[in-house]
């Protein structure tokens, strides 16, 4: 039944949905590909999202970084938000401003509600956090005061996956970043599981070598 619903969405929608080659219940809708970034209007985005809402369990609006129009358009009609931050001061500062907009410039906020928010920290490097080169997860959570939904470690598996045109969750489901994304998804769906930071298993040789170098 799921696929017939999705086909219905594709047939009836005035939009250009593209079915993902691997995940048959995932459809993609590219935003404006023209140079004219003003091609998207607020009314247009609202009508597309409201149409897609009728046919899909989740409509995920990816947003450009920063607080420009693209970001405010993407967040405007959201029911909940996942704020993605690198553990770096500049990224955390950007997210802080986004949180302000989520609480002021969205339909939910204008209707007197409060946008449910989740924080995802990505490209996290335990060693660099320990030496103070990067913020620790607790610091990011303290600054932003948004509950953590997941911590994705920095990993070469992400680039490897991107080079073969796959999400890391499909290219290597046992890799630390894939596990982190899958766990975050389960939390988003309401499961109550503690947030862990999946790490590469280091070989005994690696551990000894690291110990000596330190
Ligand atoms: N966990 C990770 N480990 C290593 N590299 C990563 C990780 N996550 C993302 N990257 C790399 O960082 C770069 C940017 O990632 P991504 O496109 O997800 O970020 P973005 O903030 O959405 O960027 P944009 O603003 O361009 O949309 C990519 O080259 C990607 O391969
Ligand atoms: Mg992006």
User: 41, 59, 77: which is the final residue of a domain?
Assistant: 59
pLDDT exceeds 50 at position 1: no
pLDDT of residue 205: 54
Whether 95 is in the pocket of ligand 1, judged by its Cβ within 6 Å, is: no
Q: Do both 46 and 79 map to the same domain?
A: no
Q: Do both 204 and 134 map to the same domain?
A: yes
Q: Do both 69 and 127 map to the same domain?
A: yes
Q: Do both 10 and 87 map to the same domain?
A: no
Nearest to 61 by CA among 32, 33, 102, 29: 29
Q: What is the mean pLDDT of residues 48-68?
A: 91
Q: What is the mean pLDDT of residues 155-163?
A: 97
pLDDT of residue 69: 84
Gap between the Cα atoms of 102 and 78, Å rounded = 9
% of residues, the chain, pLDDT over 70 = 83
Burial of 166 (0-12, 13-18, 19+ CB in 10 A): middle
Domains in the chain: how many in total? 2
pLDDT exceeds 90 at position 166: yes
Task: Please report which confidence band the pLDDT of residue 16 belongs to, taking 50, 70 and 90 as the band edges.
Answer: confident
% of residues, the chain, pLDDT over 90 = 69
Q: Do both 92 and 32 map to the same domain?
A: no
Gap between the Cα atoms of 164 and 181, Å rounded = 18
Which letter does DSSP use for residue 163 in this model? H
Counting ligand 1 atoms within 8 A of each CB, the residue from 66, 68, 154, 158 with the most, and so the one to mutate, is 158
Q: Do both 21 and 69 map to the same domain?
A: no
Q: What is the mean pLDDT of residues 128-145?
A: 95
Q: Do both 55 and 119 map to the same domain?
A: no
Exposed e or buried b for every residue in 24-36, given b needs 16+ CB within 10 A?
eeebeeebeeeee
Whether 94 is in the pocket of ligand 1, judged by its Cβ within 6 Å, is: no
Q: What is the mean pLDDT of residues 32-40?
A: 70
CATH number at residue 185: 3.40.50.300
Token pair in block for residue 97: 């401003």
Q: Do both 113 and 139 map to the same domain?
A: yes
Task: Please report which confidence band the pLDDT of residue 15 belongs to, taking 50, 70 and 90 as the band edges.
Answer: low
| 120: three-class secondary structure by DSSP | strand
Domain that holds residue 39: 1-59
pLDDT exceeds 60 at position 210: no
Q: Do both 114 and 46 map to the same domain?
A: no
Q: Do both 33 and 74 map to the same domain?
A: no
> What does pTM read for this prediction?
0.87
pLDDT exceeds 50 at position 4: no
Counting ligand 1 atoms within 8 A of each CB, the residue from 88, 123, 151 with the most, and so the one to mutate, is 123
Q: What is the mean pLDDT of residues 156-184?
A: 96
- Which residue's entry shows tokens 């907009």? 101
Q: Do both 158 and 111 map to the same domain?
A: yes
For the stretch 66-118, pLDDT in tens is 878 888 888 999 999 999 999 999 999 999 999 999 999 999 999 999 999 99
């Amino acid at each position: 039944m799921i696929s017939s619903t999705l086909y219905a969405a594709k047939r009836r929608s005035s939009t250009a949905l593209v079915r993902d080659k691997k995940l048959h219940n995932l459809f993609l809708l590219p935003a404006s590909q023209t140079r004219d970034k003003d091609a998207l209007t607020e009314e247009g985005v609202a009508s597309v999202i409201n149409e897609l809402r009728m046919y899909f369990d989740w409509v995920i609006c990816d947003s450009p970084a920063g607080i420009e129009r693209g970001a405010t358009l993407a967040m405007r009609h959201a029911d909940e938000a996942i704020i993605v931050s690198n553990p770096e001061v500049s990224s955390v500062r950007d997210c802080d401003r986004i949180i302000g907009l989520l609480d002021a410039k969205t339909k939910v906020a204008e209707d007197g509600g409060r946008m449910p928010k989740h924080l995802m920290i990505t490209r996290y490097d335990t060693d660099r956090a320990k030496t103070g080169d990067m913020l620790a997860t607790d610091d990011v959570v303290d600054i932003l005061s948004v509950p953590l939904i997941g911590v994705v470690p920095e990993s070469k598996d992400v680039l490897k996956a991107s080079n073969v045109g796959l999400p890391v969750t499909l290219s290597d489901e046992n890799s630390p970043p894939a596990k982190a994304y899958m766990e975050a998804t389960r939390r988003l769906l309401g499961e109550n599981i503690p947030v862990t930071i999946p790490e590469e298993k280091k070989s005994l040789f690696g551990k000894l070598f690291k110990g000596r170098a330190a």
